[in-house]
């Protein structure tokens, strides 16, 4: 190879060219010679990693901006020029190998599987070594003690090699590049405890501390595994939103031919043919056809929106009832749906700023502990000259200050709090959300499906005789329109024969009864002259003459008034952010006493409102249910959704409540606030324990055996304190969750 350097140079040039082509194909053009690419960087797992990647990539010529998203382990790089910079080689040189991401990939992060296996091995080793240590501590004879030490060594070795490699590999990658990270002191401490224990075991020493090494690995892996699970949930929300766009669509060519093209090949100006039941692939304008669209993704409104030639349509909305010809006005990458995906990813990147208190403390705690142990060793070597005594005292310092209690301070409270929340019908999807919801000072609600149930009901039936009502119910039973379902649920259907039944998309249903033509739907279609249509309602026309008119309203969630009052009483600011029309929003806001409300908001506008509230020092809990609420749920300080929410909304939310009652919101806030107090108490216990134990250990008055007992006692104290978190006192009968069957019942019409 050395005799043919040109071959090596050519190979390097070919590799650089291939990487450049990969980056160019995966990049998105922003205009003005700017491009953006999303790179997957699996090795990022802490604030130090983020700083290294962002600083290293920002130095490359042509790179304008770099932002690393810890939640999804992606680096968003904006670059300028005709030729892309060699970003992949730069990441490799930084010690963080990366590759171009696949936005719609369903493959899970393989490191999560490795973490779970490593956690299982560490847990098995740590628990069994602890059991053996109890026998040794209780006064086993020398032969038994040595046998147990060798068994402990055999159990600790696979934990060290298999589970500990997650920390060792990261630490070595940092050290070989002249850097350090949190895994360096962890690795040094684990190896020191294991090495000295193995030395004493070989030389028939009285003590060994394999339990300290394996327990430290076990507790640290618990935290890392929970972080990975949270990131998988975040990615599943974005993937689910991206899947709302169809993979391909039928394109109508100028010569009348049809071609089935992938969505990424659609360009503005192309004519697209959409059948009923298909989703709109890109933003566009209706050229031909009438239909109803399910626009919940954009507005959250449960009622379908009628579209006709000239009406704008947005990507992701569902065509319900009729064929449409749509002229594309944007590419897939620039569509409304793609914008929502980018909003969610940007919000998740911002959410990475919220570090668990335990993580922040551990980042400082571990280096201090190991530095203290090293100084203790050096001090005793200088004072006594006995290296065995010096290292024994250093190990005692290392064990007695082992951050087991610190590592348990947050997770154990989160486990107990999650159990208490579950008892109230509330599922917590992200442990750090329990900390964040306790910090809120404002709550923002969506309207449809959140403050209300998203089920319209008939509140007035003007001019309807019992027979007309029964006929309307009979006709309505043939449609899936929300208003039709409400009419059908309101009254028993008439036992009449229908003929020539036709559903007219966006207008209503027509049927013949006893020679008369009945139309149920919009007044301008059902009646001659179109008079008598109540706002937001429907009419029944007989041969063009008004037979009955129906008005609807959305039903409030059970306990909505009590929940709003409870939040107001604890001093929280209340707001309503809705995509619905101004009239219905104002009615609900007035009924609940919410003065700060906004109507007609698009998803991006909801995010802007939340950002403005955050700028005014508001930490906002967003409560929403629709697909259109997903970016706002991701952007808020913390979020909650009902179980009836769309899949995307549930995936994006931190909490999901399983019953219809809205009192889940104040209950989650109350329990989480008490959990926050217990977390602070646990940290106080851990700090007080170390403040007392550390000086005694440094002075040499604590053997490693006593240090191990004290370490275990501190962990027990933290667990017992966490168990003090009580469930709420039993609710009055009027505040209990309303059963689904009961809440869905419709009152009978007045005679």
Residue owning tokens 């008598």: 532
What pLDDT sits at residue 189? 67
CATH topology of domain 454-555: Calcium-transporting ATPase, cytoplasmic domain N (3.40.1110)
Tokens for 750? 């007045």
CA–CA gap between residue 600 and residue 586 (Å, rounded): 11
- Neighbour count for residue 77 (Cβ, 10 Å): 30
Residue owning tokens 């629709």: 626
Backbone angles phi, psi at 298, to 5 degrees: -95, -40
CA–CA gap between residue 527 and residue 543 (Å, rounded): 8
Q: Is the pLDDT of residue 572 over 80?
A: yes
Provide CB contacts within 8 A for 350, sequence distance 6+. Answer: 635
Tokens for 444? 């923002």
What pLDDT sits at residue 456? 78
Mind listing the pLDDT tens digit for each residue in 316-347? 888 887 889 999 988 887 777 776 666 555 54
User: Do residues 462 and 548 lie in contact, with contact meaning Cβ atoms separated by under 8 Å?
Assistant: yes
* DSSP single-letter state for residue 644: T
Provide CB contacts within 8 A for 522, sequence distance 6+. Answer: 506, 507, 508, 530, 533, 538, 539
User: Do residues 663 and 682 lie in contact, with contact meaning Cβ atoms separated by under 8 Å?
Assistant: no
Sign of CA dihedral 548, 553, 554, 560: negative
What is the percent of the chain with per-residue pLDDT over 90, rounded to a whole number? Answer: 9
- Neighbour count for residue 382 (Cβ, 10 Å): 9
User: Do residues 400 and 213 lie in contact, with contact meaning Cβ atoms separated by under 8 Å?
Assistant: no
Higher pLDDT, 419 or 284: 284
* pLDDT band per the 50, 70, 90 thresholds, residue 139: low
Highest mean pLDDT among 103-117, 438-452, 618-632, 672-686: 438-452
Each domain of the chain, given as residue ranges in start order, spans: 19-100, 248-333, 357-409+676-730, 454-555
- Residue 435 vs residues 260, 417, 574, 658: alpha-carbon distances, Å: 50, 10, 20, 21
Which CATH entry fits the domain spanning 19-100: 3.40.50.620, 3.40.50.1980, 3.30.70.100, 1.20.1260.10?
A: 3.30.70.100
Tokens for 302? 């449960």
The region of weakest confidence among 332-346, 709-723, 734-748 is 734-748
Which residue, among 233, 222, 229, 212, has the nearest Cα to 358 in the 3D structure?
A: 222
Provide CB contacts within 8 A for 530, sequence distance 6+. Answer: 522, 523, 524
In the sheet that 248-252 helps form, which strands lie side by side, from edge to edge?
A: 258-262, 248-252, 271-274, 324-328, 284-288, 312-313
* DSSP single-letter state for residue 534: -
What are the CB-based long-range contacts (under 8 Å, 24+) for 268-273? 268/328, 268/329, 268/330, 268/331, 269/327, 269/328, 270/327, 270/328, 271/325, 271/326, 271/327, 271/328, 272/325, 272/326, 272/327, 272/328, 273/249, 273/323, 273/324, 273/325
CATH topology match: 248-333 vs 454-555:
no
CA–CA gap between residue 433 and residue 230 (Å, rounded): 11
Q: What is the mean predicted confidence (pLDDT) over 545-564?
A: 84
Three-class DSSP labels, 222-240: HHHHHHHHHHHHHHHHHHH
- Choosing from 227, 283, 446, 663, the catalytic residue is 446
What pLDDT sits at residue 574? 94
CA–CA gap between residue 298 and residue 340 (Å, rounded): 10
Q: What is the mean predicted confidence (pLDDT) over 444-461?
A: 81
pTM: 0.56
3-state secondary structure of 114: helix
In the sheet that 305-307 helps form, which strands lie side by side, from edge to edge?
A: 305-307, 291-294, 318-319
CA–CA gap between residue 508 and residue 517 (Å, rounded): 13
End-to-end CA distance of the chain: 97
**Structure-derived torsion over alpha carbons of residues 196, 202, 204, 210, reported in degrees to the nearest 10:** 40
Tokens for 30? 């922003």
Higher pLDDT, 310 or 534: 310
What pLDDT sits at residue 633? 87
User: Do residues 303 and 456 lie in contact, with contact meaning Cβ atoms separated by under 8 Å?
Assistant: yes
Is 446 noted as a catalytic residue in this protein?
A: yes
Return the axis-axis angle of helices 704-722 and 210-242, rounded to nearest 10°. 40
What pLDDT sits at residue 286? 93
Higher pLDDT, 132 or 399: 132
Mean pLDDT for all residues in the chain:
76
Q: Is the pLDDT of residue 575 over 50?
A: yes
Q: What is the mean predicted confidence (pLDDT) over 675-689?
A: 82
Q: Is the pLDDT of residue 417 over 50?
A: yes
CA–CA gap between residue 501 and residue 69 (Å, rounded): 55
Tokens for 539? 């009419």
Highest mean pLDDT among 29-33, 122-126, 209-213, 746-750: 122-126
Provide CB contacts within 8 A for 224, sequence distance 6+. Answer: 45, 115, 166
Furthest-apart CA atoms within the chain: distance in Å: 113
Mind listing the pLDDT tens digit for each residue in 31-82? 677 887 878 887 776 556 777 788 888 888 888 888 776 656 778 888 888 7
CA–CA gap between residue 162 and residue 141 (Å, rounded): 32
3-state secondary structure of 662: coil
CA–CA gap between residue 229 and residue 112 (Å, rounded): 7
Q: Is the pLDDT of residue 596 over 50?
A: yes
Tell how strand 538-542 and strand 516-521 pair up.
antiparallel
- Residue 304 vs residues 319, 373, 458, 460, 480: alpha-carbon distances, Å: 9, 68, 17, 21, 11
What pLDDT sits at residue 624? 87
Mind listing the pLDDT tens digit for each residue in 496-524? 888 888 887 767 889 998 888 998 888 88
User: Do residues 552 and 458 lie in contact, with contact meaning Cβ atoms separated by under 8 Å?
Assistant: yes
Q: What is the mean predicted confidence (pLDDT) over 261-266?
A: 82
The region of weakest confidence among 96-110, 189-203, 321-335, 366-380 is 96-110
Provide CB contacts within 8 A for 154, sequence distance 6+. Answer: none
Three-class DSSP labels, 149-196: HHHHHHHHHHHHHHHCHHHHHHHHHHHCCCCCCCHHHHHHHHHHHHHH
Alpha helices in 243-316 (DSSP H): 296-299
CA–CA gap between residue 397 and residue 623 (Å, rounded): 48
What pLDDT sits at residue 343? 54
What is the percent of the chain with per-residue pLDDT over 70, rounded to a whole number? Answer: 75
User: Do residues 228 and 109 lie in contact, with contact meaning Cβ atoms separated by under 8 Å?
Assistant: yes
Q: Is the pLDDT of residue 444 over 90?
A: yes
Provide CB contacts within 8 A for 371, sequence distance 6+. Answer: 185
Distance of CA 564 to the CA centre of its chain: 25
Higher pLDDT, 733 or 707: 707
Q: What is the mean predicted confidence (pLDDT) over 562-571?
A: 92
CA–CA gap between residue 681 and residue 679 (Å, rounded): 5
- Residue 74 vs residues 39, 91, 99, 350, 357: alpha-carbon distances, Å: 5, 12, 10, 13, 24
The region of weakest confidence among 301-305, 401-405, 532-536, 660-664 is 532-536
Chain length of the chain: 751
CATH topology of domain 248-333: 2.70.150
User: Do residues 303 and 483 lie in contact, with contact meaning Cβ atoms separated by under 8 Å?
Assistant: yes
């Amino acid at each position: 190879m050395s005799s043919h350097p040109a071959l090596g140079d050519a190979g390097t040039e070919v590799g650089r060219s291939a990487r450049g082509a990969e980056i160019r194909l995966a990049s998105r053009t922003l205009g003005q010679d700017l491009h953006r690419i999303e790179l997957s960087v699996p090795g990022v797992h802490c604030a130090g990693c983020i700083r290294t990647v962002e600083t290293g990539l920002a130095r490359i010529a042509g790179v304008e901006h770099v932002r690393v998203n810890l939640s999804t382990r992606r680096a968003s790089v904006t670059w300028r020029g005709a030729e892309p910079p060699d970003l992949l080689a730069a990441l490799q040189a930084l010690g963080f190998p990366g590759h171009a991401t696949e936005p719609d990939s369903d493959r899970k992060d393989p490191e999560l599987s490795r973490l779970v296996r490593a956690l299982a091995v560490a847990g098995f080793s740590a628990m069994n070594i602890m059991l053996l240590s109890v026998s040794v501590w209780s006064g086993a004879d020398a032969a038994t003690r040595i046998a147990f030490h060798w068994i402990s060594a055999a159990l600790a070795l696979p934990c060290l090699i298999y589970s500990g490699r997650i920390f060792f590999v990261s630490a070595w990658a940092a050290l070989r590049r002249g850097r350090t990270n949190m895994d360096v002191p962890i690795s040094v401490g684990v190896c020191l405890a294991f090495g000295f224990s193995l030395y004493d075991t070989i030389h028939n020493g009285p003590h060994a501390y394999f339990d300290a090494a394996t327990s430290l690995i076990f507790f640290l892996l618990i935290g890392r595994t929970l972080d990975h699970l949270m990131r998988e949930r975040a990615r599943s929300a974005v993937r689910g939103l991206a899947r709302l766009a169809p993979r391909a669509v039928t394109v109508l060519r100028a010569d009348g031919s049809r071609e089935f093209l992938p969505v990424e090949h659609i360009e503005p100006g192309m004519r697209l043919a959409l059948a009923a039941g298909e989703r709109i692939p890109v933003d566009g304008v209706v050229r031909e056809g009438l239909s109803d669209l399910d626009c919940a993704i954009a507005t959250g409104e449960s009622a379908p929106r009628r579209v006709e030639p000239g009406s704008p349509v947005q990507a992701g909305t569902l065509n319900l009832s009729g064929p449409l010809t749509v002229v594309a006005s944007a590419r897939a990458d620039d569509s409304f749906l793609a914008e929502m995906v980018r909003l969610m990813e940007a919000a998740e990147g911002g959410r990475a700023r919220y570090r668990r208190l335990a993580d922040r403390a551990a980042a400082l705690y571990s280096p201090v502990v190991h530095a203290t142990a090293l100084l203790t060793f050096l001090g005793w070597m200088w004072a006594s000259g006995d290296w065995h005594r010096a290292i024994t005292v250093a190990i005692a310092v290392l064990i007695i200050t082992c951050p087991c209690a610190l590592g348990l301070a947050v997770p154990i409270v989160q486990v107990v709090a999650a159990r208490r929340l579950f008892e109230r019908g509330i599922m917590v999807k992200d442990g750090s959300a329990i900390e964040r919801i306790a910090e809120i000072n404002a709550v923002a609600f969506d309207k449809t499906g959140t403050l209300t149930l998203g089920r319209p009901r008939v509140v007035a039936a003007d001019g309807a005789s019992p027979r007309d009502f029964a006929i309307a119910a009979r006709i309505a039973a043939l449609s899936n329109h929300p208003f039709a379902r409400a009419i059908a649920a309101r009254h028993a259907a008439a036992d009449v024969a229908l003929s020539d039944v036709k559903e007219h998309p966006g207008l209503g249903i027509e049927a013949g009864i006893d020679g008369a033509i009945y139309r149920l739907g919009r007044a301008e279609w059902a009646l001659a002259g179109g008079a008598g249509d109540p706002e937001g309602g429907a009419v029944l026309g007989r041969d063009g003459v008004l037979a009955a008119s129906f008005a609807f309203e959305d039903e409030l969630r059970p306990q909505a008034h009590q929940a709003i009052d409870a939040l107001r009483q604890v001093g929280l600011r209340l707001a309503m952010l809705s995509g619905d029309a101004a009239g219905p929003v104002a009615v609900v806001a007035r009924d609940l006493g919410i003065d700060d409300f906004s109507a007609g908001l698009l998803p991006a506008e909801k995010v802007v409102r939340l950002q403005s509230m955050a700028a005014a020092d508001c930490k906002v809990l967003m409560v929403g249910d629709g697909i259109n609420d997903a970016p706002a749920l991701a952007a808020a300080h913390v979020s909650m959704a009902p179980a009836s929410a769309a899949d995307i909304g549930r995936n994006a939310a931190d909490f999901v409540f399983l019953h219809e009652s809205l009192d889940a919101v104040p209950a989650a806030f109350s329990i989480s606030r008490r959990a926050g107090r217990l977390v602070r108490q646990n940290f106080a216990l851990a700090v007080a324990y170390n403040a007392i134990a550390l000086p005694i250990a440094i002075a040499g008055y604590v053997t490693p055996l006593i240090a191990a007992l004290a370490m275990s006692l501190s962990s027990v104290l933290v667990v017992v304190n966490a168990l003090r978190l009580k469930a709420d006192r039993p609710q009055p009968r009027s505040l209990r969750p309303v059963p689904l069957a009961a809440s869905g019942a419709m009152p009978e019409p007045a005679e």
